[in-house]
Chain A
């Protein structure tokens, strides 16, 4: 498993969020912030899942531990950390058993090895429809322009109508297309 397999930052988002889902999160927050003045892109993912103890948190950042043991969760963490550090950015994982996890990765926007953000709309769509029982907050900020999507707001409007019904899926596809 090499960092090159994740050709988009969005693939990292999918991967880290899938860890949160496996960790039984009920609310997951994803923020992507592009600050072109400072030349920094920040990716922040926070969940309220089961979290990790110190030992586990250390081990999930070690790529050799991950692959050697065939562990199924957290393989993407060393990949994200590697990509962030390659671009001259930073990586942090804050977690506590029973209290969820918080990952913050920053990247230098001008570094040639920075992967493109990739298909953000598709990523948001598949995460919210494919995990409709989880509440997501998505935030994409590019300098002054900001997009925020809270699935709890959508679910409140929908009432008994599931987020996964075809009419809502079609709405979401158009909505993301026009706004994100």
Chain B
């Protein structure tokens, strides 16, 4: 595994690019404040990133941010989708993150039992 292999990835990706939307359909933002990190936000962010890779999902952007303010419910995750309310998930872990990918991102049904707020 070396950086040369990235060139092959680029060549293949350029062939596929026409098939895809340029803009991300869904944006997943994981809160990485001090309390989020202390309660496992890195594992949550890693689970989202791994699932995007494993399931070959091209229209989702996974990003991190700083403290969000509701530290009692960290790790927290916001899911933004064009034309839909923002869903805020709280007390997340890696397993819950995988369920959010399957049920919310892939199948379009927010996981209400993990949601702490819908804006």
Contacts of B65 in A (CB 8 A): 21
Interface size on B, residues (CB 8 A): 40
Question: Once bound together, how far apart are the Cα atoms of A161 and B57, in whole Å?
Answer: 14
Question: Once bound together, how far apart are the Cα atoms of A15 and B17, in whole Å?
Answer: 35
Tell me the minimal C-beta distance from B60 to chain A in angstroms: 9
Q: Does B90 reach chain A (CB closer than 8 Å)? A: no
Assess whether B53 is in contact with A169, with CB atoms less than 8 Å apart.
yes
Tell me the minimal C-beta distance from A121 to chain B in angstroms: 10
A75-B34, A130-B63 in contact; A169/B42 too (CB < 8 A)? no
Contacts of A166 in B (CB 8 A): 52-58
A1-B35, A72-B33 in contact; A161/B13 too (CB < 8 A)? yes
Q: Does B45 reach chain A (CB closer than 8 Å)? A: yes
Q: Does A126 reach chain B (CB closer than 8 Å)? A: yes
Tell me the minimal C-beta distance from A164 to chain B in angstroms: 6
Assess whether A131 is in contact with B64, with CB atoms less than 8 Å apart.
yes
Contacts of B12 in A (CB 8 A): 167
Chain A's interface: helix, strand, loop or mixed, by majority? Answer: helix
Contacts of A161 in B (CB 8 A): 9-10, 13-14, 17
Assess whether B66 is in contact with A154, with CB atoms less than 8 Å apart.
no
List residues of A (143-169) whose CB comes within 8 Å of B's CBs. Answer: 153-154, 157-161, 164-169
Q: Does B7 reach chain A (CB closer than 8 Å)? A: yes
Interface size on A, residues (CB 8 A): 47
Q: Which of A25-33, A109-117, A172-180 is found at the contact surface with chain B?
A: A172-180
A166-B58, A179-B1 in contact; A173/B50 too (CB < 8 A)? yes
Q: Of B7, B33, B45, B67, which contacts A126 at CB under 8 A?
A: B45
Can you add 14 more A-B contacts, CB < 8 Å, to A129-B49, A166-B54? A14-B42, A18-B33, A18-B64, A19-B66, A72-B69, A73-B67, A125-B46, A132-B63, A153-B3, A158-B10, A164-B61, A166-B52, A168-B9, A169-B50
In the complex, 16 of the A-B residue pairs with CB atoms within 8 angstroms, ordered by the A residue number, are A1-B38, A11-B37, A22-B66, A72-B33, A123-B42, A126-B49, A130-B45, A157-B6, A157-B7, A160-B17, A161-B10, A161-B13, A166-B58, A167-B56, A170-B53, A179-B1
| Chain B residues close to A by CB (< 8 Å) | 1-3, 5-7, 9-10, 12-14, 17, 30, 32-35, 37-38, 42-43, 45-46, 49-50, 52-58, 61-67, 69
